[in-house]
Amino acid sequence: MLSVEEKILEIRSKMTADLESVSSSEGLTRLWGEYLGKSGCVTMLSRELGKAAPADRPALGKAINALRGWAEEQFKAAESAVKQRELEERYLREAVDVTMPGEDLPVGGLNPVTIVRRQLIDVFGGLGFKVYEGPEIEDDYHNFTALNTPMEHPARDKQDTFYINDDLLLRTHTSPGQIRVMESWEPPFKVLVPGRVFRCDDDATHTPMFHQMEGLVIDKNLSLCDLHGLLDTMAKAMFTPDTKTRFRPSYFPFTEPSVEVDVSCCECGGKGCSLCKGTGWIEILGGGVVNRKVIENCGLNPDEWSGLAFGFGLDRISMLKYGVNNIHILFDGDTRILSQFKK
Ligand code: PHE
């Protein structure tokens, strides 16, 4: 039978060897249990104290306590060594070579219609226009009646308009935005109304959903000359600085007089080519002086206030600018095509 002193010496040397060879936190935890746990050998030793002769007990108790203190110190030191080694191993395992070339992440681009919409808002914004967006589901009053469109007008036909019920419909143009703004804003003002519009129409240059941008100016003593100045500034900014604009007489129920607006062909500069069908001109929008009846319908006095209005097809302008010949390309969502418009 070993004496307690001998056992203490044995535990010291065995523990020193064990701690030297331990290499992981798990191993260390297990060793801790073997020595200092509830039934660990150091703990068991304290229990044996009861068997010793009463006279020897104080000295033995002191020696066992010293062993326990020493063991705890050793474990603390071993723990920090193991932690440090584990951290170093982890650094090696998870090392990243920051000098390696990175992987390209695909970056999206804007749809040409969005590009054109933003450019137009930018140009007209510089001229003092604010932006208003009206509802896509409109009532008959705002889409037709308030815009002086007679009951028998072909645009009201069920073949041309998506009706939801007798009164509600998908707006066929952004012009109802004019009415909503005049009803609620204090004149004078300049406003742009961009948005989606809907018509029963589907071929290479028409889709049932497309995009328009309405412009409306309400002020005193406005004339067609003011409209020409505005649209000429826009055309030069959107196409090239030497782009020319011309007005041709037209008809819309909500403007009087009404005009179709052409720009000199952006492809041939006006000489005549297949894009402009040999005429040198391309139609890009409709507009005119706001009909007095429309101003009156919105509760303004037409002897005091005058208006200018115009409406673009954003899809049409995108197609012209980017040489797209089929409108469906804009909405099919084929990224191989759309990525070509990335700046
Ligand atoms: N709303 C007309 C259309 O959709 C365009 C337009 C707007 C014409 C404003 C005159 C004034 O064709």
Q: What is the pLDDT along the chain (343 residues), one digit of tens a residue?
A: 678 888 899 999 999 999 999 989 999 999 999 999 998 999 888 888 888 888 888 888 899 999 999 999 999 999 999 999 999 999 999 998 889 998 888 877 889 999 999 999 999 999 999 999 999 999 999 999 999 999 888 888 888 999 999 999 999 999 999 999 999 999 999 999 999 999 999 988 899 999 999 999 999 999 999 999 999 999 999 999 999 999 999 999 999 999 999 999 988 888 999 888 999 999 999 999 999 999 999 999 999 999 999 999 999 999 998 888 899 999 988 888 888 887 6
Q: What is the pLDDT of residue 127?
A: 96
- DSSP state at residue 165: S
Instruction: Tell me the one-letter amino acid at 210.
Output: F
Nearest to 308 by CA among 210, 223, 194, 201: 223
CA of 192 to the centre of ligand 1 (A): 13
CA of 173 to the centre of ligand 1 (A): 7
Cα 12 to Cα 23, 66, 81, 95: the distances in Å are: 19, 11, 19, 39
CA of 153 to the centre of ligand 1 (A): 14
Q: How far is it, in rounded angstroms, from Cα 233 to Cα 12?
A: 94
Helix (H) or strand (E) holding 212: strand 209-219
Tokens 């008959």 -> residue: 140
Q: Cα torsion for 23, 28, 34, 40, to the nearest 10°?
A: 150
Q: What is the pLDDT of residue 343?
A: 60
Residue 297 structure tokens: 């319908």
Q: Cα torsion for 326, 328, 330, 333, to the nearest 10°?
A: -140
Nearest to 259 by CA among 292, 284, 278: 284
Sign of the C-alpha dihedral, residues 162, 167, 170, 175? positive
Beta pairing partners, 210: 197
Q: What residues have CB less than 8 Å from 216, skipping those under 6 apart?
A: 177, 178, 181, 182, 190, 191, 193, 290, 307, 308, 309
Question: Residues with Cβ within 6 A of ligand 1?
Answer: 173, 175, 214, 252, 255, 286-288, 309-311
DSSP 240-300: -TT--EEEEEEEETTEEEEEEEEEE-TTTTTS--TTTTTSSEEEEEEEEEEPHHHHHHTT-
CA of 7 to the centre of ligand 1 (A): 103
Nearest to 43 by CA among 65, 28, 60, 12: 65
DSSP 218-249: EESS--HHHHHHHHHHHHHHHS-TT--EEEEE
- DSSP state at residue 49: G
- Which of 254, 258, 283, 308 has most ligand 1 atoms within 8 Å of its beta carbon, as the pocket-test mutant? 254
Q: What is the pLDDT of residue 212?
A: 98
- DSSP state at residue 144: T
